[in-house]
Structure 1
């Protein structure tokens, strides 16, 4: 039987590309499977932007919703209310797709379900309307998903509110972890009384789905997979990662300039500092970072940007650029480090991590960054900023031993107030630890990198999970 799944990724080309990367691997694992990826337009997009997305392929096609008219009155619309507003358009698209796939002259097939990305869970209502099984694609890790389900269980069944652990030195026993989690490493959304109800709602919705695809690898999350297979009222979980977008554009001049500089450096000698799309710092924090880098004596490639104003962080405002680095960094720093360091704003992260000159990575511990670093065998120094990054940092440092600590509980998402300054001493200590050439961290990372590559080979754990998921979908066709 040939089947078709409808995938609903979050709006934005990067989100769509990330989901498409997973879909391509999934489709290639089973020739019975076809996928239509419904592209929701970005908020306030100017019109038809379909030309910037990839072309449809033999068993993967893109269905672009019309951007429509979005007035300036919608500027204060929240992200989730925007997703809600797209339901009628998705409903119309699914109705059309259902007719098309069943009557396709060359390859008639069954519409077997909808797979919604985590931030598009409102679209599960559309799946219910059509009597389609709903699945979720969770782009973070299984251990964090287990934490979500656990705090929801504590709240709903044991009447314990984890927001009470704010400013506490308590530890939480989490069934998806092998050791207690300090309350200081709980994500801000779990400690904020304003945001926690939304997380509880999402966890309840996920519990009702037929299955969850996770961008992770079974070998690095055995405890989490044990939790999800233990009859805890959770859906089946399929670790199908690492799903990485490794394509690069070598024609970009900025990228070429960075590569030329890296080509001149000895193997594993460069420390790479990069903090994701939202990673920016104050002038004082940038100074502490510069002092630590100079003291450490290591070569460095530093993606440095200034933080967005505190009141704009939660609106998604990106970091900016320092207009005068000489005025921000210690006097003479740029001259003294000119031969061993390079400061950039934008960083082609995949390209840099893949380069043999890179020996360590100071990271915000976003899940994609962790996966990329482990894939290329680069040890990490953990400096989380927001979202679930504190939790990820705890796992990488304490559970897996693949990262050195700078400060696991640092955060500047403005949900819990102002963050503290991370000192040059803390930063230098983490840098020196992660750059040890024969250290235990490097050995663990090399072992894990090999496991990552094996997972996606024929017979590997992730390939097996993909095939198992497709079989599960077939068995759930009504």
Structure 2
């Protein structure tokens, strides 16, 4: 194959590990499907905890295949200067990266003497549409969440602008991508927060530019979100949507300590009966305060069920950041809890989530309803008890509980920074329901679990949408 037959796609993921890994999974799908495609993934440097930076650095050292490579952008001095506007720091950061990204991509393409097929932008990287325009390349939005969430956010942005920003009287709203009206308490940002509409948040500014793209790539599949996908596809005002999932994030390389922890956790699960363990895990940024930990502990103990609990330490000042590890769980749990439950439960810190969910001993999942976690639960056929914490997780929980009726609710409108305490009885009842082998949600999860594989194979819905995406890309670049 000659160099002229090659086409380069540039990916611009937001510099968080979860966003970077999602971008790599999409790149792997594309390059595996069409040998003409080469993917370069831009790695931006955003100030964050050293642990997260180390993970990104380690992850980007070894590209997954010869046609995927990482391009590290030089730090822009203006990115660290004090803000001069009220815009969100993320938006400012992305604006500061446009120049370095443009110059790096232009230099790369000149060096390769190739053709730029398009730029695939993370949902928070829409300022980079300007870079695509300058380089005469189509821009695609990679929305790593579901299609219903995409439809909800786009509709709320339009509604907000049409109402002149007055959203206070909207208690619920009918959304084309949803069967039922969506209450305000589960909109992104949560009840009483309305972070999505906060001028300082900048979210609306990202969304307003979505329609400038050539298409939306979503990490979902038609059999899971048929109503939302068909609704988006029928809207002539929107670019086409390409649901190409489920893209399940692999474990990747593990540090020696993480490997040791994983082996210990799996060894414990190996000793448990089939479908007997409820797994509690709340994502990359999930944590709870002391009073809430006591209620969870009481619920687990009173239920008598076997459990595996990933318990993380709140970040400094209890901000929405990256949790750490407790040196001793006894310091934050009720006195004697670990001793009384040592025969039935195990409290851990970091958890190898996919390895745990795929273990036959796990029968239920208490989850924050992050989209990756939802897809992993469906992939593994494990029913969910929904306890969202932040971002779009409340609307994800609404989707699972009310729209699909395939999850149990703990508290659908819970917010991580609220003073609300979910009582032990509520948690216990939900855990008992999700672990009940006769629960009506279990067959629905099993049916969907079977469809996750067929969507990806030749002739499946996601396989076909991926083919359409590649046709769009190659037609534009030829």
Tell me the TM-score normalised to structure 1 length.
0.89
Q: 1:220, CA displacement in angstroms?
A: 1.1
Q: Which shifted more, 456-465 or 48-57?
A: 48-57
Q: 1:321, CA displacement in angstroms?
A: 4.4
Q: Which shifted more, 236-245 or 26-35?
A: 26-35
* Structure 2 unmatched runs, 5+: none
**Cα separation, 2, equivalents of 1:44 and 1:393:** 28
Q: How does 1:195-214 map to 2 (within 5 A)?
A: 195=199, 198-214=202-218
**Cα separation, 2, equivalents of 1:284 and 1:62:** 44
Q: Deviations over 1:193-224 (max 9, x none)?
A: 52587222222100111111011111111111
Q: 1:177, CA displacement in angstroms?
A: 0.6
**Cα separation, 2, equivalents of 1:431 and 1:329:** 19
**1:230 maps to which residue?**
234
Secondary structure, in 3 states, of the residue corresponding to 1:187? coil
* Structure 2 residue 111 is matched with structure 1 residue 100: yes
Q: 1:35, CA displacement in angstroms?
A: 1.6
**Number of equivalent positions:** 461
**Cα separation, 1, equivalents of 2:435 and 2:39:** 43
Q: Deviations over 1:387-434 (max 9, x none)?
A: 00000000011111221110101112x4xxx33110011101110110
Secondary structure, in 3 states, of the residue corresponding to 1:267? coil
* Structure 2 residue 148 is matched with structure 1 residue 140: no
Taking structure 1 as reference, are residues 225 and 67 closer, same or farther at Cα in structure 2, changes over 3 Å only?
same
Q: How does 1:7-86 map to 2 (within 5 A)?
A: 7-43=11-47, 52-53=59-60, 54-55=62-63, 57-67=65-75, 78-86=89-97
**1:106 maps to which residue?**
none
**2:310 maps to which residue?**
303
Q: 1:31, CA displacement in angstroms?
A: 2.5
**1:88 maps to which residue?**
99
Q: Is 1:283–1:306's contact at 8 Å kept on the other side of the alignment?
A: no
* Structure 2 residue 199 is matched with structure 1 residue 191: no
* Structure 2 residue 155 is matched with structure 1 residue 154: no
Q: How does 1:281-360 map to 2 (within 5 A)?
A: 281-308=288-315, 312-314=318-320, 316=321, 318-322=322-326, 325-360=329-364
Secondary structure, in 3 states, of the residue corresponding to 1:408? coil
**1:280 maps to which residue?**
287
Q: Is 2:251–2:352's contact at 8 Å kept on the other side of the alignment?
A: no
Q: Which shifted more, 43-52 or 447-456?
A: 43-52
Q: 1:140, CA displacement in angstroms?
A: 0.9
Aligned mate of 2:265, from 243, 254, 258: 258
Q: Is 1:7–1:38's contact at 8 Å kept on the other side of the alignment?
A: yes
Secondary structure, in 3 states, of the residue corresponding to 1:55? coil
Secondary structure, in 3 states, of the residue corresponding to 1:162? coil
Q: Is 1:139–1:214's contact at 8 Å kept on the other side of the alignment?
A: yes
Q: 1:129, CA displacement in angstroms?
A: 1.0
Secondary structure, in 3 states, of the residue corresponding to 1:266? coil
**1:397 maps to which residue?**
401
Q: How does 1:395-434 map to 2 (within 5 A)?
A: 395-412=399-416, 414=417, 418-434=418-434
Q: 1:451, CA displacement in angstroms?
A: 0.9
Q: Is 2:370–2:393's contact at 8 Å kept on the other side of the alignment?
A: yes
Q: Deviations over 1:261-316 (max 9, x none)?
A: 1110001100000001111111110110011111111100001124346x5514x2
- RMSD over aligned Cα atoms: 2.6
Q: Which shifted more, 215-224 or 358-367?
A: 215-224
**1:385 maps to which residue?**
389
* Structure 2 residue 232 is matched with structure 1 residue 221: no
Q: Is 1:397–1:403's contact at 8 Å kept on the other side of the alignment?
A: yes
Q: Is 1:268–1:357's contact at 8 Å kept on the other side of the alignment?
A: yes
* Structure 1 unmatched runs, 5+: 104-108
Secondary structure, in 3 states, of the residue corresponding to 1:119? coil
Q: Deviations over 1:303-359 (max 9, x none)?
A: 1124346x5514x2x234455544543333222111100001111111111111101
